[in-house]
Chain A
């Protein structure tokens, strides 16, 4: 992945699996994380409200019975039980939502799932239960406490409000000031948030002409000389691959023009796709043969 956008490149890291294979990982962007947080908070508040409404309506029914019965009756106990249920449910929604989902096989809460990110261990090892507990306990001082303080204090409370806001900003901006965008909880737990990869397997390039009938490409319509193929390197090959896979008429045409001009051919006019397809296949065959011999050509500027 050499030719990614510079803003993404700054988020690229390499993770080495126990098998010794280096895998590229992308640190989740701040936008994705903020979005995930808002979604999760929205879900939590929604589920809290729904639970409260359900319990209140059940309690309303029970209270009706209570009027007929005496105090200390089963109905009163039921009411108490509902109250206990409510308190425990609220506690769990606040504290266990993130825990429960991040321990699942996707390592992500519903909000993180939607924004395509997940939690992982920073050192490349297993994501352990302790890590998930630690990173989510810290959420309490990062988010809930200052928000409650700000809400209860209000702007009129002066210094208290400033202190609470400073506290809130300190933790919210924490990920801005370190390379891997760790929030305080990630530091404590040794975890980080990365993009959850999702790539489809694309078509085979050399077996059939993309977008046309499946005539095997082995019977190349255009053949190129060694000198014509020696012009380009791996970088140009990747660009050409992208153009062919995207298959947009305009870009195919302009790429055809620049390649044809560079290598001094004009016989593919009106049949640009096939021309480029054949050029791609032969260029790749040449570069891959070089690879097997230990010769690599990064781009058109290198020897």
Chain B
């Protein structure tokens, strides 16, 4: 301690070793950097003075070069360990997450998201085929044997909407629910539930995408079964309208989540010329961007489902809302490109 407390020049004079004098001449910078880094690690960014923030990159380089020199000239293990840890801590700050969450979000909305979606175009195509196939399979299964309906559709769904229900009952399930209570609670519940399912859909891509495909097919088979049910009583268009209000957004979101999962699964199964870890990492980060957007889409879908669907009670109006949402998403993802290309 003593050497540190005495005036710096005297201490430097007193040090017998060249490498210790080297250290004493520079430790002021080291300690300043340490103080800045410690304060920034504690998240007290506002309390770090501007001149310190400006000095940070320069100090980081100074200390990093001190480390390089010390490694070649000093055998003081404790000082070397200190410098290594300090450079690493400063490195994490200087090269840490560059943007705040808010800045990232701005870039994300303004091009990052749509670029990521375009980046997984092929997987979206596959996921779309799977969902279409699932719908057809659901329809065919139920039309060949209505008993299938009960195994496809979870029991809490089948309040009145079962095979053999009259047209009036089914019609009532689509229209005239404006006076329902607790719509906002319903919307929040739907969002939480759907978001969890889509996260699952993505995460399961880790098993080479196989469970993702199964989940996509299973969920759309349910849709096919319901379509068949309403088709049987001649309410196909009304059902499509009822569904499309939120469904164009929600199904699109599920499509994207599934595609994101497939994208990761595909990178694991066929990494191409890159090492697997690198290929999967790149695919995973692109898919994560898509997934952040999926959560946003599901918020929109839940609001539409909880409010718009119950308030708008005619099929043409519902179809136009759903159609507009679909067009909106398509235009946003595929027509909206920032010049100069925001990277995926």
Q: Which residues of A contact B (CB under 8 A)?
A: 1, 15, 17-19, 21, 23-25, 80-81, 83-84, 87-88, 90-91, 95, 100, 103-107, 118, 120, 122-123, 125-134, 137-138, 140-142, 145, 184, 187-190, 196-208, 213-214, 216-218, 220, 234, 237-238, 241-242, 245, 281, 284-285, 287-288, 291-292
Interface string of B10-32 (1 = CB under 8 A from A): 01001111111001100100110
**Least Cβ–Cβ distance between A240 and chain B, in angstroms:** 10
Q: How far is the CA of A44 from the CA of B76 in the complex (A)?
A: 44
Name the 8 nearest CB pairs between A and B, nearest first: A190-B281, A214-B2, A197-B85, A188-B284, A134-B288, A207-B3, A130-B285, A199-B85
The residue that B264 contacts in the complex, of A142, A188, A203, with Cβ under 8 A, is A188
Q: Which residues of B contact A (CB under 8 A)?
A: 1-4, 6, 11, 14-20, 23-24, 27, 30-31, 34, 40-41, 43, 45, 61, 64, 67-68, 72-79, 81-82, 84-89, 91-93, 95-99, 101, 104, 182, 184-185, 187-189, 191-192, 195-196, 199-200, 202-204, 206, 264, 277-278, 280-289, 291-292
Chain A hits for B76, CB < 8 A: 205, 241, 284
The residue that A208 contacts in the complex, of B2, B87, B184, B277, with Cβ under 8 A, is B2
**Least Cβ–Cβ distance between A181 and chain B, in angstroms:** 13
User: Do A88 and B192 have beta carbons less than 8 Å apart?
Assistant: yes
Chain B hits for A123, CB < 8 A: 278, 281
User: Do A201 and B288 have beta carbons less than 8 Å apart?
Assistant: no
**Least Cβ–Cβ distance between A42 and chain B, in angstroms:** 22
Q: How far is the CA of A106 from the CA of B45 in the complex (A)?
A: 12
User: Do B87 and A21 have beta carbons less than 8 Å apart?
Assistant: yes
B11, B24, B188, B286, most chain A CB atoms within 10 A = B188
Known: A104-B43, A130-B289, A288-B73. A207 touches B195 (CB 8 A): no
User: Do B73 and A291 have beta carbons less than 8 Å apart?
Assistant: yes
The residue that A95 contacts in the complex, of B24, B199, B287, with Cβ under 8 A, is B199
Q: How far is the CA of A132 from the CA of B89 in the complex (A)?
A: 19
B75, B286, B289, most chain A CB atoms within 10 A = B75
Known: A105-B43, A202-B78, A204-B4. A189 touches B285 (CB 8 A): yes
Number of A-B pairs, beta carbon distance below 8 Å: 232
The residue that B20 contacts in the complex, of A91, A140, A205, with Cβ under 8 A, is A205
A-B CB contact pairs (8 Å), 28 listed: A17-B87, A18-B95, A21-B67, A23-B91, A25-B88, A84-B188, A100-B101, A103-B101, A120-B92, A127-B97, A130-B285, A130-B286, A132-B97, A133-B292, A134-B285, A137-B202, A141-B204, A184-B206, A187-B284, A188-B264, A190-B280, A204-B3, A205-B76, A207-B15, A207-B24, A218-B14, A245-B78, A284-B19
Q: Nearest residue in A to B78 (C-beta to C-beta)?
A: A202
Q: How far is the CA of A80 from the CA of B76 in the complex (A)?
A: 66
User: Do A187 and B281 have beta carbons less than 8 Å apart?
Assistant: yes
Chain A hits for B3, CB < 8 A: 203-204, 207-208, 214
Known: A133-B291, A216-B14, A241-B78. A23 touches B84 (CB 8 A): yes
Known: A18-B95, A188-B264. A23 touches B202 (CB 8 A): no
User: Do B281 and A188 have beta carbons less than 8 Å apart?
Assistant: yes
In addition to A200-B82, A284-B19, 7 A-B residue pairs with Cβ atoms within 8 Å of each other are A88-B192, A122-B277, A137-B288, A145-B203, A199-B85, A203-B3, A288-B17
Known: A122-B281, A214-B2. A288 touches B203 (CB 8 A): no
Q: How far is the CA of A299 from the CA of B265 in the complex (A)?
A: 51
